[in-house]
Structure 1
């Protein structure tokens, strides 16, 4: 099995500030973010959705972790659920970050009971979700 590297971020793509936040983590803060959707999250920027979903699946399966991010007004989500399912199916740990979201005790609404899967950890912040994750400089030094 190939070595997994990087962090895949699953969140709403329809909010420009989300893609901008994940690009900042990658380009400015130096995290090894492997979610290519963040570079084509604007309206009309994805030319082929079938190709996008095949790429997303490969990126998730090759990641060392997935960060599932949602805020209170983000529900119902769509693609982020499928990305989390790809991760769980591939044995990739999932870190759920949902600031301000109240999770109902039994049903785990609004996100669902999948957050109780053994590969899933609910954490309070993106910083906690990234603790121990690969940085871009570490990846660059390995490829030289």
Structure 2
């Protein structure tokens, strides 16, 4: 991506960050009406499903692989991991205090999980970029 003009690079990067945030919002929708599932229960209702979590993971891995393939390795972390982690932090901060005692710990764990997944996918795509380039050269120059 370094060979593209800077407006095009930044537009693609902004689009990637927007896609990452949109994937989070679509896969893990917020229910701002946090309420107990039953009267007296300590657990709240949640719109989060296993399918949504898996779809979010796949979307983030695909975005990380794309940016890892075409850009430097630091960019996928900023463009793919930071938007969902920020939205998750905002979501956790909307919970009332008595319920929020474990949210900082959960946020830290999920931040590390998302960042590690993004970095691994980006690194693999980045490494494959070099290998594919060597294969293309070997096909054009058989000697």
TM-score in terms of structure 2 length: 0.33
Q: Highest Rg: 1 or 2?
A: 2
TM-score (norm 1): 0.32
